[in-house]
Amino acid sequence: MAGVISRGIRGPIIREGDDIVDIVVNSVYASEQADGYTLQDRDVIAVTESVVARAQGNYVTVDQVAQDIRNKFPAKKLGLVFPILSRNRFSMCLKGIARAMDEVVILFSYPNDEVGNPLMVRSAYLKNRYSGVYDFQEADFVKTFGSPIHPFTGVNYLDFYREVIESEGAKATFLFSNDCRYIASLCAGNENPPHMIIDDGWQRNTCSGPWDCDIHTRNETRDVLQAMGKTVFTLADVMSAPVNGSGYHDKYGMLGSNKATEEKLKLFPRNCQPVVDSIQARIAKERGLHVEVMVYGDGPSKTRWAASGSWPTRWSPPPIPPAWRASPMS
């Protein structure tokens, strides 16, 4: 009488060049034997994107990221709009950006980042949220709200991101607003305004209140800034083509990337459809079963397919899995 059962299947450590199809199929078969169940028609086999990318070797170095930034941004001063607060994911991207620049100007949303990570303790925000001032430079922001400390980790992300930027020899300048136009307005009349790179999946709607969010609006933010005459790229445009033999993703760039080593990032996997097709075809041939197979991303933002898992919202990934093969019966 059991309903839907979800199983986490333990596999081997996966390295670049491994046959991910063989590993997945054999791991599922081994799990059947160990756990006493049998595959059935229309079962769903979900493979996390991380292991597919690792098998593909879809990596980039910080130096390669820095070179791509230099290629796209001739100015040595860059504006970064609405980054998330992340030591694992975004800090490595920031490291590559800072390595390419003399100054990095960051516009933080507040009191939370794009995915809801708090920049500060909520009580500090509530105490002063009706001050009548909503756009801040760093000194005024700290004077108004105090030094921002993440309530769970205890990390001061201003200090952390400043350290990342300055360790690469660049100057760090921080601004705070939920209106992307604020960073551009500070450059009015400047003959060489900082260019912009957008890393926002959620953007606060200042008309409805600071807690209202629009999901995945980086393209809208880009359009607003471009209308103001700014040169704008999103993180999907960075590492969208190989740089000095690097990995890349032509559609998502650095969206979905995360830290691999101190000098290397893993990107989102490319061309996943042959992977899921091959897994499905092999099980059909060997077992006569029509299973459904997908490659998915881990994270809190659910896709429109309930069975498909979820996406890493940090990088505003696509609304559907990178690869899906339904059974002919579905």
Split at pLDDT 50, 70, 90, the class of 159 is: very high
pLDDT given for residue 67 in this prediction:
97
Q: Is 84 helix (H, G, I), strand (E, B) or coil?
A: coil
**pLDDT: which is higher, 316 or 242:** 242
pLDDT given for residue 253 in this prediction:
93
Nearest to 256 by CA among 321, 193, 209, 203: 321
How many domains is the chain built from? 2
In this structure, the answer to whether residues 179 and 251 fall within a common structural domain is yes
Q: Are 301 and 52 in contact (CB under 8 A)?
A: no
* Cβ-based burial of 120 (10 A; exposed 0-12, middle 13-18, buried ≥19): buried
Domain extent for 211 = 59-265
In this structure, the answer to whether residues 44 and 183 fall within a common structural domain is no
Within 10 A of 117 (CB to CB), how many other CB atoms are there? 15
Is residue 12 a part of any domain in this protein?
no
* Sequence-separated (6 or more) residues with CB below 8 Å from residue 3: none
In this structure, the answer to whether residues 261 and 282 fall within a common structural domain is no
Nearest to 221 by CA among 209, 237, 205: 205
Is residue 85 a part of any domain in this protein?
yes
Is residue 2 a part of any domain in this protein?
no
| DSSP tag of 16 | T
pLDDT digit string (tens) for 94-117?
999 999 999 999 999 898 887 778
Boundary-marking domain end, from 265, 284, 316? 265
In this structure, the answer to whether residues 144 and 114 fall within a common structural domain is yes
Region class of 245: left (phi > 0), else alpha (psi between -120 and 50), else beta: left
In this structure, the answer to whether residues 153 and 221 fall within a common structural domain is yes
In this structure, the answer to whether residues 92 and 239 fall within a common structural domain is yes
pLDDT digit string (tens) for 186-202?
765 555 556 677 764 43
pLDDT given for residue 20 in this prediction:
97
pLDDT given for residue 321 in this prediction:
57
Asked whether the predicted pLDDT for residue 33 surpasses 90, the reply is: yes
In this structure, the answer to whether residues 313 and 212 fall within a common structural domain is no
| Cross-strand bridge partners of residue 265 | 60, 259
Average pLDDT of every residue of the chain: 81
**pLDDT: which is higher, 325 or 140:** 140
In this structure, the answer to whether residues 303 and 319 fall within a common structural domain is yes
In this structure, the answer to whether residues 49 and 118 fall within a common structural domain is no
Is residue 157 a part of any domain in this protein?
yes
